[in-house]
Amino acid sequence: MTGPVITGVDGGSCATDALTLGHWAAGLLEAPLVVAVVHPAPAAIGSGRVDAEWVADRRAAADRVLDGARATLGDPPGVEYQVLASSSAAHGLHDLAELRQASLLVVGSGAAAPASRLFPGSTAERLLAGSVCPVAVAPSGMTTPPGTHGRIGVAYVDTPDGRAALKSAARLARRTGQTLRLVTVVARGDAALPFLLGSDAERAFLDTARETYEEALRKAAQAVPDVTVEWEVRSGDVVETLAELTDVDVLFCGSRGYGPARRVLLGGVSARLLRRARRPLVVVPRA
């Protein structure tokens, strides 16, 4: 997709994080930035009637949120600000992303997020259950845009969803000149092997798995032209290991490996990463 980067804000404590990440991504992708606020759609209170005063109040509140977003961004040229009426924030942002064929949809973490950690609110969780474009979630307290480490991380597995994540990350890396870092995590033996298999068999299994993953990573690196790629296989708990990656600017991961194509559907790893990761996380739909 070549459409805009859409950033949803609600005036909450994590809105600045979403704006920081969205503005950075739009600049790198050379895409328009759309800052969107969703307010409740009018609710009928009788036959053909709505509470006009309530509707006006909600619209005014949304306009104030946009004023705050303009102040945060410094009102740079080329940014579009849009107020939407919908049954929910997630529904409104989803419809806008589909209508505009968005390149990326960016939201902040929920109000309960610990400092420097991801923790999706209800809007992010709903968007991540069927979005038509990649969804990026900014960690709490991200006051400066990514770019410090010069690497874009990819949680890579040799599956359609893993390859989709790699493709999206490579697109960003070509724009930035940053290095792609592919990471595959071999789960601990007790998570990957049948009970009472034996330590020798466990070691043999892990050695074989590591060789298989290393070969897949080599092939993936060779398949990405015009980008510097480094890769590694780590051992440990998959989610904990990926969540503690702090030397990348942003981490890409794939959706669940089944379900409708071109939709974000959280799998076990991506869902748990959204409550643990320290870096901005981009979840990519299946191709």
Among residues 103, 107, 104, 105, which one has the least CA distance to residue 120?
A: 107
Q: Which 8-state DSSP code applies to residue 248?
A: S
Q: Where does the pLDDT of residue 277 fall: very low under 50, low under 70, confident under 90, or very high at 90 and above?
A: confident
- At residue 260, the pLDDT reads 39
Coil, strand, or helix at residue 157?
A: coil
Q: What is the mean pLDDT of residues 42-63?
A: 71
Q: What is the mean pLDDT of residues 166-184?
A: 92
Q: Which of 97-106, 109-118, 162-171 has the lowest mean pLDDT?
A: 109-118
Contact 265, 130 (CB under 8 A): yes
Q: Kindly tell me if the per-residue pLDDT of 127 is higher than 60.
A: yes
φ, ψ for residue 213, nearest 5 deg: -65, -40
- At residue 83, the pLDDT reads 93
pTM value is 0.83
Q: Which 8-state DSSP code applies to residue 281?
A: E
pLDDT digits (tens, 9 = 90+) for 17-31: 999 999 999 998 899
Q: Which of 17-21, 116-120, 155-159, 244-248 has the lowest mean pLDDT?
A: 116-120
Rounded Cα gap, residues 287 and 269, in angstroms: 18
pLDDT digits (tens, 9 = 90+) for 142-165: 777 888 788 999 999 898 888 999
Q: Where does the pLDDT of residue 49 fall: very low under 50, low under 70, confident under 90, or very high at 90 and above?
A: low
Q: Whole-number mean pLDDT of the chain? A: 81
